[in-house]
């Protein structure tokens, strides 16, 4: 079922499914944070369409980080410093649902920590966080200011290079986060997918572990339903901004 123009009927159906669920999981992508002023990656106005001498996806690769740390950190500080961003209505309503005991957890591809700023506790970062950094030599932890608020390559007191705890291209996803995410999905009865085109792998493949019967997909652009559902599952595909849907839910729930 797809509604291109989302009226109150569709919004009420989303609300009804949420109210009838006991174990909800939210799987979110970059679109969750665009209304906080953080650009996404793949849309026509996204990060990957900006003009650089080296493509952004190359700069954000592990081999580029090792070979060209100065250029990597120049780009990283210019484009990935989201510390001043504020949670939007989607983050806020998801936190409320968690506090009410119906949202079991959030699986996010984002690295901005806005879910935590909104008050969510059970958040699993598939691609890491800009707020966490570590020395590649001695594994000492460092806060974000030790990476963002300097002009040189961040270096540990032991002499090792400090790396942001974000998953770069060519790096594996954190195993513990993956395992927790899979368990959440297996136990959920409602999956809400928001702000993602499901084009980033392997992260997008994890939704196959969802065994429940109902899926809500909220995204500005159409998503191929074969990427989401299996036999016997109901799906609501909503081509709308997350903010518009969650503002309605916030007023009605």
The catalytic residue positions are 127
Phi, psi (deg, nearest 5) at residue 54: -120, 135
Please count the residues of the chain.
Answer: 253
Is residue 232 within 8 Å of residue 211, measured between CB atoms? no
For 125, the 3-state DSSP assignment is strand
Phi, psi (deg, nearest 5) at residue 2: -130, 135
Q: How far apart are CA 124 and CA 8, in angstroms?
A: 32
For 214, the 3-state DSSP assignment is strand
Q: How far apart are CA 164 and CA 130, in angstroms?
A: 6
Q: How far apart are CA 247 and CA 6, in angstroms?
A: 13
Pairing of strands 123-125, 190-194: unpaired
Token duo for residue 230: 């299996």
Written in H, E and C, the secondary structure of 196-247 is: CCCCCCCHHHHHHHCCCCEEEEECCCCCCHHHCCCCCCEEEEECCCHHHHHH
């Amino acid at each position: 079922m797809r509604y291109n123009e989302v009226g109150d009927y569709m919004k009420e159906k989303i609300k009804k499914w949420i109210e009838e669920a006991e174990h909800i999981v939210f799987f979110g992508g970059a679109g969750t944070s665009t209304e906080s002023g953080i650009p996404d990656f793949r849309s026509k106005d996204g990060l990957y369409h900006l003009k650089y001498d080296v493509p952004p996806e190359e700069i954000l690769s592990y081999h580029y980080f090792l070979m060209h740390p100065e250029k990597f950190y120049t780009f990283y500080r210019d484009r990935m410093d989201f510390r001043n961003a504020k949670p939007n209505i989607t983050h806020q309503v998801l936190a409320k649902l968690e506090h009410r005991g119906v949202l079991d957890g959030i699986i996010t591809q984002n690295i901005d920590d806005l879910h935590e700023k909104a008050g969510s506790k059970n958040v699993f970062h598939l691609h890491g966080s800009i707020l966490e950094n570590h020395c590649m030599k001695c594994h000492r932890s460092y806060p974000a200011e030790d990476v963002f608020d300097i002009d040189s390559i961040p270096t540990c007191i032991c002499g090792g290079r400090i790396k942001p705890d974000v998953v770069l291209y060519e790096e594996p996803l954190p195993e513990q986060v993956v395992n927790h995410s899979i368990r959440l999905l297996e136990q959920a009865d409602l999956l809400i997918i928001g702000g993602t085109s499901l084009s980033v792998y392997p992260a997008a493949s994890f939704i196959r572990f969802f065994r429940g019967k109902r899926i809500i997909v909220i995204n500005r652009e159409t998503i191929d339903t074969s990427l989401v559902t299996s036999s016997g599952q109901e799906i609501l595909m909503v081509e709308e901004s997350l903010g518009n849907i969650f503002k309605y839910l916030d007023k009605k729930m």
